[in-house]
Amino acid sequence: MGAASPAAAESYGSTLAERLEALKLALPPTTRLLAVSKGHPADLVRQAAALGQRSFGESRLQEAIAKQEQLADGPDLDWHFIGRLQANKARAVLRRFGTIHSVDSLALAERLQRIAAEEGLAPGILLQVKFRADPAKTGFDPAEVRALGAELGRLEPLRCLGLMTIAPLGLTPEARLELFRECRDLADALGLPDCSMGMSGDWHEAIAAGSTWVRLGSVLFGSRPIQP
């Protein structure tokens, strides 16, 4: 099933500690691990935090808020929002997340910019780009992002760090590698450092293409007990 078939978590170890260690060792020094905790309870985040993991990705605001509240007594965590962001949730997401990977339109970016200014926040953002037709996903058209070019700087106080992409299901590994290379090339052309690309089923191709953030859920935490 192409990108839909992530390697089983068990192949990286039988405990969270083993899997975290094995996955971190497999990443190049320029690629960071975003531990995608959506669909998993706060306790698993607590365990990963105790093992030194600090960056966590969530895609549903209410679920994330509940976990953040349960974890408030623990170490400071670096929360990244990776899900579809509805305009009416923008303020709450800005208050709760330091980085947003799923900015999928200029209208949303401008709304985030206005609210971040009001709130005195300077979050990192990544523009979600759709490199292949995919009815299941939103995102900028690559040409639209290219045309924005130098204007990305005018989104301050937002800090535009890079691009995010999700490979559609059903691509061959070669086709995924090609897609991820297009993302890296576009980020490079715009002078943006980050590419958030690679999930449990396709992170090998993503790191080969120069991903700086892999977003790993099931390969690290196992299958999701709660359907997010």
Ligand X SMILES: *Cc1c(COP(=O)(O)O)cnc(C)c1O
* 3/192 with CB nearer ligand X: 3
- What gap in Å lies between CA 208 and CA 53, rounded to an integer? 23
C-alpha distances in Å from residue 68, one per residue of 53, 61, 62, 98, 116: 15, 10, 10, 13, 20
- Give CA–CA dist 157/92, Å, rounded: 17
How many other CB atoms sit within 10 Å of the CB of residue 133? 7
Taking the least distance from each CB to ligand X, the nearer of 73 and 104 is 104
Nearer to ligand X, 113 or 196 (CB): 196
Report which residue's Cβ sits closest to ligand X.
217
SS3 28: coil
Task: State which residue, 84 or 114, has the beta carbon closest to ligand X.
Answer: 84
C-beta of 80: minimal distance to ligand X in Å?
Answer: 10
User: Which lies closer to ligand X via its Cβ, residue 83 or residue 162?
Assistant: 83
Residue 73's identity, in one-letter code, is D
The minimum distance between CB 6 and ligand X, in angstroms, equals 5
Q: Which residue number, 84 or 154, has a Cβ lying nearer to ligand X?
A: 84
What count of residues does the chain have?
A: 228
Q: How far is the CB of 90 from ligand X (least distance, A)?
A: 18
Q: Which residues would be at the binding site for ligand X (CB under 6 A)?
A: 6, 36, 38, 59, 82-83, 166, 199-201, 215-219
Could you tell me the smallest distance in angstroms from the CB atom of residue 150 to ligand X? Answer: 28
Distances (CA, A) of 79 to 25, 54, 71: 22, 8, 12
Contact criterion met (CB below 8 Å) for 199 and 220: no
**DSSP letter string, 96-118:** H-SEEEEE-SHHHHHHHHHHHHH
